[in-house]
Amino acid sequence: MVVDPRFGALAGQFFRLFEQTSDGGGALAVYLHGEPVVDIWSGWATRTTRWQSDTVSVSFSTGKGVASTVLHRLVDRGLIDYDAPVAQYWPEFASAGKDTVTVRELLSHRAGLHRVRGLVPGRLALLDHDGLASALACATPDRRRTVMPGYHAVTFGSLVAELTTQVTGMSFTDLVRTEIAEPLALREFWFQVPDQERRRIAKLFPRINPFGIPWGVTSFALSRTPGLKNLAAAGMPDGFDELVRNPAIHDHVMPGWNGVFNARALARMYAAIANRGMVDGIRFLSEDTVAQIGEVQTTARDYVLGLRMNWRLGYHHAFVASRDQSPSAFGHYGLGGSGAFADPDTGLSVAFVTNRMGNTLTPLADLRLAKLGATAESIARRL
């Protein structure tokens, strides 16, 4: 493990999260100015096995940040223009009035394609990337997209994956490997997990059902509730609670929610963003691209989440449990607790992965990363 003495208080805070088996396990990694200062892990990967250095975990929407970074690497090489219509690269996308939707709008959740509930038939249809991409290309966008963002909770990753595949002719799995894993010299960026690596995946618990209520009941109730029906449409397709526990998800590419990572890999990727595109002497992104990535695209309230997410190009504002939040910090958090972010102002990147989904009553809500991030930011600002 790695613990810079200056971050000792942060390490102690992390270890206290996993004092008994019911707490599950997790890992925390921090970079400062492109150098690793924390790389630690603790707790249980399963009820009977401890979390190890090589343990990885399903991290849900944390993968949206990884998928977005793949696209930014292509922008760096001039293969994609943020202000070009998506249909310029993916002609089928132009149908149903989407011919003017730009890459910039897609990345900031303003494509109007938040709906996944009922988008494709059958519970296993979400595993079919080609079918889902085809359905999204044919879908009619929500009219609110021109005035406010709407979080594409499940569809975002598939949209980015299909766009980048259309541009390069490469599978998204190969793009993640060549654009992220190989340049950063870390393997643990997976949507399709190699068979030989699956033994390393931590078991998620408890279930993701809010308040212990059956998923179908909750999803139906929210879909009929004003103010919450958009959330059900975007993130609660039928049978999703069963799907996330199905080992078959690791056979498919669903970058909006099935990414498998460790904290070390995520922190290294965000370290490059926090350090003007450089990490360990490697030029990962140009300074110009990094500057564009961090620009807030919309401050309007998100009509799915009901919050002002201050969407960047594929990332949201990094929420930390502090009154003194850094306005420059951004990244992507995931369902149940995992997430990562970069802060270019302090040169800090923080990543946290865990198999413990929030708490028993509200697995969707979790403040562990927000609290760890606040401590890390406080230390970095004092240095």
Task: Give me the active site residues, please.
Answer: 61
67 contacts: CB under 8 Å, gap ≥ 6: 156, 157, 160, 161, 172, 255, 256, 259, 314
**To which residue do tokens 């190989």 refer?**
182
Write out the two tokens for 131. Answer: 């079918």
CB-count exposure of residue 130 (10 Å: 0-12, 13-18, 19+): exposed
Question: What CA–CA distance (Å, rounded) separates 228 from 237?
Answer: 14
**Nearest-5° angle of CA 105, CA 311, CA 188?**
95
Write out the two tokens for 121. Answer: 């038939």
Backbone angles phi, psi at 195, to 5 degrees: -55, -45
Element (H, E) at 42: strand 35-43
Question: What CA–CA distance (Å, rounded) separates 254 from 203?
Answer: 19
Instruction: Give the residue among 205, 232, 204 at the shortest CA–CA distance from 219.
Output: 232
**Nearest-5° angle of CA 297, CA 376, CA 264?**
80
Q: Where are the alpha helices (DSSP H) in 112-251?
A: 129-138, 155-168, 172-176, 182-184, 215-223, 229-235, 240-243
Q: How many CB atoms lie within 10 A of CB 90?
A: 20
